[in-house]
Amino acid sequence: MKKIVLFAFLIALIHTSFAQTSDDSWQSMYRASAPKINDIVHTKLDVKFDYGKAYMYGKEWITLKPHFYPTDSLTLDAKGMDIKEVSIMKGVSKSSLKYTYDSLQLRINLGRTYKAGESYTIYIDYTSKPNERKTHGSAAITDDKGLYFINPKGDDKDKPVQIWTQGETEANSVWMPTIDKPDQKSTEEIYMTVPAKYVTLSNGLLISQKKNTDGTRTDYWKMDLPHAPYLFFMGVGDYSIIKDSYKGKEVAYYVDKKYAPYARGIFGHTPEMIGFYEKILGVPFQWAKYDQIVGKDYVSGAMENTTATLHQESAYQNARELVDGNSWETVIAHELFHQWFGDLVTCESWSNITVNESMADYSQTLWTEYKYGKDAGDEENNKGLTEYLSSPDDDKKNLVRFYYADKEDVFDLVSYQKGGRVLNMLRNYVGDSAFFKALNLYLVTNKFKNGESHQMRLAFEEVTGQDMNWYWNQWYFGNGHPKLNIDYNYDDKAGIAQVIVSQTQESGKIFKLPIAIDVYTGAKAVRSKVWINDKVDTFTFNYTTRPDLINVDADKILLCEKTDNKTSANFIHQYKYAPKYIDRKEALDYFEKQGMKELSLGLKDKYAPLRKSTINALAASKFATDDEVVKSIEELAGKEKDKKTLAAALTFLSKINDNKYLPLFNKYVNDSSYSVSGAALAGLATLQPDKAYDLAKKYSVDAKGTLGDVVTEIFTANGSEGDYDFVADRYKNAPPGQDKYDMTGPFCEYLAKIKDETKIKQGIDYIIQFSKQIPEQYRTFTDPAIKGSLDKISKAKGDGIADYISKSWK
Ligand SMILES: [Zn+2]
């Protein structure tokens, strides 16, 4: 699964502003793996949907056998259902069984004792009612419904009618009685009866389709290979299916008709990704096909249902958005990697989610490195590190988590971002060939079964011949990360350099860290491999000429926070001669912080994102109007191929407010990239506001991303009544997250300028609706800020509107 952080900025704000009043009661809640009394062997379902009631009528034939000890009973998870019949199959006939049901679990008396290996099939006739489930209180459950009916009656003309399911963690038992635990595996057949105008998607292969006389069609999906219950999936809707293939297997993309022309632009790397992952893992893609589908109002980022990955709508990008780079590509890579790590070998319990999620997180780095080069891979890796470090509370959590309050809690920055970096260090330590051979051994040994972190360790020990307990104890079964202080002493007389590395983390835990240190004389580096073992370690190097740079952690793999007390000259040398993305980034960050003009070295960096971040850093620095810097950026703007970097350059130049840039802005204002076009339009807006307004009008029919932002800014500044639809729709349609929160102030500013009361009130409604969608924990920040913006409308418009706001605000 891939979760999307909607309120990234606010989360950071909360972490930095408040000492957490943390509830540590989870620390005593041990989470054992689910005991196996009966094992599911096969699940056969026959389902029909009632769109009017948002019910699903199901018939299930579930085949099980006792795991080891004989048993005369079976407990199935079955959440919020109506159970009509429970029988045992005897050949083709049924014999009813005694059972009790408490709306969560179905306890069945099997009538006699079954021995290990003796299989039996239970028949259940039931109705699934996902929208009528209640929590312990009376509130309806919204986040683990399992089965989602989207706009089922078609009331909302702007919304497609869809059905999709979301199983992880234990929600598929809302629509099928099962043992809803990750340590179960079952083969699967589903007969789905749906209105004939829709297409369906499920796990495995579509074997047959049968038209019924009542306007419905029954699709028969079959999955011959066993997988865990949380990976079962059904999707129904009015989709276009775009088909690719990989080695003869179907690779298809289920998208809204509107996005059919762009489906290959979004998902088209999938076959190449399958080939890449097969190659590095040495394990062929095991499943019959690989499809991806996009769900309206999907509750998470994306989900790796076996052979049927579900994505949220952020996957949708049109051709112009794709020109700026596919923002969803790493999610596609992440979910695909789960088809091995998660689906083929499944975490034995949620405590061991690292064997699914850390792997999938790290796969984003692997794919990016393979496809776009080492710098891009290192940037992706570093993004994960930065995200983990932004959440200081996560310092307390072990990667393998036997203690937690709620099973959903393990889907966090530790299991994903930190775990991914732990794998990156491991790869560096054992070397590429051992790393991938160990992953191969883990997969081959445990395929179609479960794995826990120890099995991963055993695979690495077998391949490398090394004891790896120290690594697993430190990183998987322990918490935190090192905080390093690095000092340098040079004794030119004696020709001795000292590197002193101190571990300053408050926990007192001391980390063992194998690293490389490169000692540079000119462009030449001599490498030493050393271990950091103690609270303070001193490494000594002899020299005849004082080194230009001693580069600690030369491969830049450490998961740590550090204060590296190098000199400015060292950092300049590092930028010029140390080869890694992080080497250059660290140096540029240092120049920025110190206000050094060497920052402009980054304008010529070989990696576009570093050129881009350099331009942005220069724009905010005292060099924003420096002649040389401006000239360099003018030159860059003349030849830059990377669209986002070009956009940054145009934005930089637009702040200079000089008519000589008019030809440049006019050249790019029609660019296919929304970023470039938007940046050029912003440039015109200061120099030729009337022309910019006319262009904003013209472009408003197709303005997303930066271009949409700039058009909105121009319309807001102008305050014309006629632009209401664009400004209001853009606000209304923004997903309820950080960006929308940031749009709220300017939207109020616009509403304060227009006259039509109906429009003003509608705009206010949109804002208040959004304010109520913000998760409770952020409301102490967001409520006063949003109310403050609304008050500006009251002030401008008088008592009528003020009353309307105060009434609606409640
Ligand atoms: Zn995932």
- Read off the pLDDT of residues 594-627 as tens digits, 9 standing for 90 and up: 999 999 999 999 999 999 999 999 999 999 999 9
Centroid of ligand 1 to alpha carbon of 358 (angstroms): 8
Other Cβ atoms within 10 Å of 793 Cβ, number: 25
Has residue 684 got a pLDDT over 90? Answer: yes
pLDDT at 18: 43
Centroid of ligand 1 to alpha carbon of 338 (angstroms): 7
418-441 tens-digit pLDDT: 999 999 999 999 999 999 999 999
279-309 tens-digit pLDDT: 999 999 999 999 999 999 998 899 999 999 9
15-57 tens-digit pLDDT: 444 444 467 787 888 999 999 999 999 999 999 999 999 999 9
Mean pLDDT of 797-809: 94
- 652-661: long-range contacts at Cβ-Cβ below 8 A with a sequence spacing of 24 or more? 652/615, 652/616, 652/618, 652/619, 652/624, 653/683, 654/679, 654/682, 654/683, 654/686, 655/619, 655/624, 656/625, 656/630, 657/686, 657/687, 659/687, 661/687
Centroid of ligand 1 to alpha carbon of 304 (angstroms): 7
Mean pLDDT of 383-395: 94
Centroid of ligand 1 to alpha carbon of 322 (angstroms): 23
Mean pLDDT of 770-785: 89
Centroid of ligand 1 to alpha carbon of 336 (angstroms): 9
CA distance 544 to 454: 48
Has residue 735 got a pLDDT over 90? Answer: no
- 252 closest CA partner among 202, 192, 190: 202
Is the pTM here over 0.85, yes or no? yes
217-267 tens-digit pLDDT: 999 999 999 999 999 999 999 999 999 999 999 999 999 999 999 999 999
Centroid of ligand 1 to alpha carbon of 2 (angstroms): 5
Mean pLDDT of 501-529: 97
Has residue 159 got a pLDDT over 90? Answer: yes
Mean pLDDT of 128-146: 82
CA distance 790 to 745: 8
Centroid of ligand 1 to alpha carbon of 407 (angstroms): 15
Centroid of ligand 1 to alpha carbon of 422 (angstroms): 16
pLDDT at 490: 98
Centroid of ligand 1 to alpha carbon of 687 (angstroms): 47
Centroid of ligand 1 to alpha carbon of 399 (angstroms): 15
Q: Are the C-beta atoms of 315 and 269 separated by less than 8 Å? A: no
Centroid of ligand 1 to alpha carbon of 354 (angstroms): 10
pLDDT at 19: 42
Centroid of ligand 1 to alpha carbon of 542 (angstroms): 48
Residue located via tokens 């865990």: 228
Has residue 136 got a pLDDT over 70? Answer: no
Centroid of ligand 1 to alpha carbon of 333 (angstroms): 10
Has residue 270 got a pLDDT over 60? Answer: yes
Centroid of ligand 1 to alpha carbon of 341 (angstroms): 9
Has residue 8 got a pLDDT over 80? Answer: no
Q: Are the C-beta atoms of 235 and 338 separated by less than 8 Å? A: no
pLDDT at 299: 82
Q: Are the C-beta atoms of 277 and 251 separated by less than 8 Å? A: no
Centroid of ligand 1 to alpha carbon of 302 (angstroms): 8
Beta-bridge mates of residue 44: 61, 189
Centroid of ligand 1 to alpha carbon of 751 (angstroms): 41
Residue located via tokens 């028969």: 220
325-370 tens-digit pLDDT: 999 999 999 999 999 999 999 999 999 999 999 999 999 999 999 9
Has residue 66 got a pLDDT over 90? Answer: yes
> Which amino acid does the sequence have at 125?
D
pLDDT at 2: 80
Centroid of ligand 1 to alpha carbon of 708 (angstroms): 31
What is the band of 96 on the pLDDT scale with cuts at 50, 70, 90? very high
Q: Are the C-beta atoms of 296 and 235 separated by less than 8 Å? A: no
Least confident of 295-304, 558-567, 659-668: 295-304
Mean pLDDT of 574-588: 98
Beta-bridge mates of residue 28: none
373-384 tens-digit pLDDT: 999 999 999 999
What is the band of 775 on the pLDDT scale with cuts at 50, 70, 90? confident
Centroid of ligand 1 to alpha carbon of 52 (angstroms): 33
Q: Which two tokens stand for residue 735?
A: 């997903």
Centroid of ligand 1 to alpha carbon of 629 (angstroms): 43
Question: What share of the chain in percent tops pLDDT 70?
Answer: 97
Average pLDDT, whole number, for the chain?
Answer: 95
Question: What share of the chain in percent tops pLDDT 90?
Answer: 92
In Å, how far from its chain's centre is CA 697?
Answer: 35
pLDDT at 17: 45
pLDDT at 9: 62
Centroid of ligand 1 to alpha carbon of 363 (angstroms): 10
